[in-house]
Amino acid sequence: MTAAALDVERLNRSFGALHVTRDVNLTLERGARRALIGPNGAGKTTLVNLITGVLRPSAGRVLLDGDDITTTSQAERARRGLARTFQINQLFRGLSVLENLAMTIGERDGNCNNMWRSAGAKRSVIDEALDHLESLRIADDALKLVRELPYGRQRLVEIAIALAQRPRVLLLDEPAAGVPSSESHLILDVVAGLDPEIAILIIEHDMDVVFRFAKQITVMVQGTVFTEGTPDEIMHNEQVRAVYLGQERHKVARHG
Amino acid sequence: MAASETLTGEPTREQARARAAEFLISRHYYRWPEAVPWLIAIACYFVFPDRMTFGSQVLVMIMFAFSLDLILGYAGIVTLGHAAFFGIGAYTVALATLRLGWSEPISGIIAGGLVAGLVGAVVGWFILRYRGLTLLMLTIAFAATLQESGNLRSDITGGYDGLPGLTFDPVLGLFDYDLYGHTNYLYALVALAVVFYFVRRIVYSPFGQALTGIRENVRRMHAIGSPVHRRLVTVYAVSAAIAGVAGGLFTQTNAYVTLTVFDFDSSAKVMVMLIVGGTGRLYGAFIGATVYMVLEDYFSKLSPTFWQFGIGLLLVLVVLFARRGLLGLVEDAGAYLSKRKQP
């Protein structure tokens, strides 16, 4: 039996008296398409931060391809193939889109230890960066500064950077958050077309997206896994409807 | 398809790719305006033969400001204690010649750079876990600690009276130091050019790119797997080494050194120079240090008590109206002119 791409075992985290993550178990098989849903404050982003190493868990383990990475640094996890996007863009705003990508590839391959060669000397890096931009149809913006792009395009750069890390596990934290609904389909098409080899966990509030994209859904409520199952099971689960979908229908649980 | 695109003037996919790639590939090429500051520096040798000692001091400060630009302008490390490394270099050279009789100048400044760089690596390893105000305070504390330690052992350092009358061998065994500082000026200029070449390579390297990444968004750098702390410590050590070389040159230029090289004033002054010139753009240090030193010289003759008013006014004007420094203004002017040329 091969290990799952990502395995989270009985993860706990408290901020003082506030127990924001309680005994969370979560598994992503290779090529998984899992959605993580739940009302605001359920601890979804905290879970992503625990998995990626921004936060350290109080108890529990995180396994990447069967290796225990609970205590490894965030950067080391990234180098081992765990990538994420942020709910709010975290980009190199003063640099061009192409540089954002080239730097990511440089750090991935260890080129950035080199202090002597010029950054543009490796044509393969530039070509790969442009390939990623073309696959997301933002190659026209390659030489624009990130801060000059509309927010929706910046969201695509955010995804392009994650893809340039060549991840085996990708955590998407509300990829369409803050994007006008007229443009969000562009981002969701990209998400739907991602490499089937990559195991993906997506946090999303739009139920249409969740039910279209995910093969498995985990529902979190108040820091703990409430239930999980296929989209069909979740849709017909009365309790889930009560705690989450009911609210969603009244547009209470939206943020972004 | 491709052919019709060419006819309508739209770039083809290959052309667009090539254009984008060209930007990264050619970014580090030398361009002719870069020759200007060097030509001016050489011209000064002939135009102001009686101001060569002052000229050497300007070159030393350019190198010092340059070392700060590497960490402040590129990596975004804010420090008000960079004089610590300048002072370490200055005292390494002074003590080597005074106590060890090691008075060969070139190996002297290299030794000054190495010692400062080593200290920079150790100190950086400790303090670069912090950012913002905490880091700022730690850099000030380190420089102050060094200065007071020097004061405590004034039997070695000469304290605030300093170590006067230092002598050095002729440069390369050929060119002796003269009363007017001609030799020293050319020697400092060559040293600056060598240091500049190294820093320029670093800035345009993948490592240099990673530094700008840390400056722009450190959270993202962690997320893409960058060993941020190691990168910062490395560049801090390199910057400290350059400051050390500048300090060594300072000692050789003045043939004299006191503990005032560690002054908070000195750390603050070099930061003002860099801000006036423009951070993160290589030649900002040239403009900033030169303008500052020349104005300081001019104002202090005009009014020995109130000369700082002029410098202060300049800083206020730059911060208010030229956020990217004087070099930023030059860049804007260049962009404006080239736009007018091709409407």
pLDDT in tens, B180-199: 788 999 999 999 999 999 99
Nearest by CB: A114 against B21, B205, B228 = B205
| For testing contact with chain A, the best of B209, B211, B236 (most A CBs within 10 A) | B209
- A90 contact residues in B (CB cutoff 8 A): 217, 219-220, 223
Tell me which residue range forms the domain holding A235: 1-81+167-256
Q: Are residues A72 and A123 in the same domain?
A: no
pLDDT mean across residues, chain B? 91
Mean pLDDT of the B220-224 span: 95
Sheet holding A82-85, edge to edge: A82-85, A169-173, A199-203, A33-37, A216-221, A224-229
B53 touches A at CB < 8 Å: no
Q: Structurally, how many domains does chain B consist of?
A: 1
ipTM: 0.89
Mean pLDDT of the B31-40 span: 91
Q: Are residues A182 and A133 in the same domain?
A: no
Q: Are residues A182 and A67 in the same domain?
A: yes
Residue B106 lies in a domain: yes
Mean pLDDT of the B99-104 span: 90
Residue A88 lies in a domain: no
Please report, for the domain that includes residue A175, its CATH number.
3.40.50.300
Q: Are residues A77 and A153 in the same domain?
A: no
Which residue matches tokens 């209470």? Answer: A252
Cβ of A120 within 8 Å of Cβ of B25? The answer is: yes
Q: How confident is the model at residue A244 (pLDDT cuts 50, 70, 90)?
A: low
pLDDT in tens, A7-26: 999 999 998 888 899 999 99
| Residue at a domain's end among A128, A161, A194 | A161
A123 touches B at CB < 8 Å: yes
Q: How confident is the model at residue B2 (pLDDT cuts 50, 70, 90)?
A: very low
Q: What is the model's pTM?
A: 0.91
B177 alpha carbon, distance to own chain's centre: 25
Tell me which residue range forms the domain holding B230: 42-263
Residue B230 lies in a domain: yes
Class of residue A3 by CB neighbours under 10 A (exposed 0-12, middle 13-18, buried 19+): middle
Q: Are residues A77 and A172 in the same domain?
A: yes
Separation CA B318–CA A71 (nearest Å): 47
B222 touches A at CB < 8 Å: yes
pLDDT mean across residues, chain A? 89
Q: Are residues A180 and A77 in the same domain?
A: yes
Burial A13-31 (b: 16+ CB within 10 A, else e): beeeeebbbbebebbbbbe
In whole angstroms, how far apart are CA B265 and each of A5, A118, B80, B82, B261? 56, 36, 9, 11, 9
Q: Are B261 and B247 in contact (CB under 8 A)?
A: yes
Q: How confident is the model at residue B35 (pLDDT cuts 50, 70, 90)?
A: very high
Q: Are residues A215 and A239 in the same domain?
A: yes
Q: Are residues A69 and A100 in the same domain?
A: no
pLDDT in tens, A43-96: 999 999 999 999 999 999 999 999 999 999 999 999 999 999 999 999 999 999
Separation CA B168–CA B43 (nearest Å): 26
Q: Are A223 and A22 in contact (CB under 8 A)?
A: yes
pLDDT in tens, A188-232: 888 888 899 999 999 988 888 888 889 999 999 989 999 999 999
B202 touches A at CB < 8 Å: yes
Q: Are residues A232 and A180 in the same domain?
A: yes
A158 touches B at CB < 8 Å: no
Q: Are residues A69 and A193 in the same domain?
A: yes
| Residue at a domain's end among A105, A138, A161 | A161
Residue B324 lies in a domain: no
B23 touches A at CB < 8 Å: yes
Q: Structurally, how many domains does chain A consist of?
A: 2
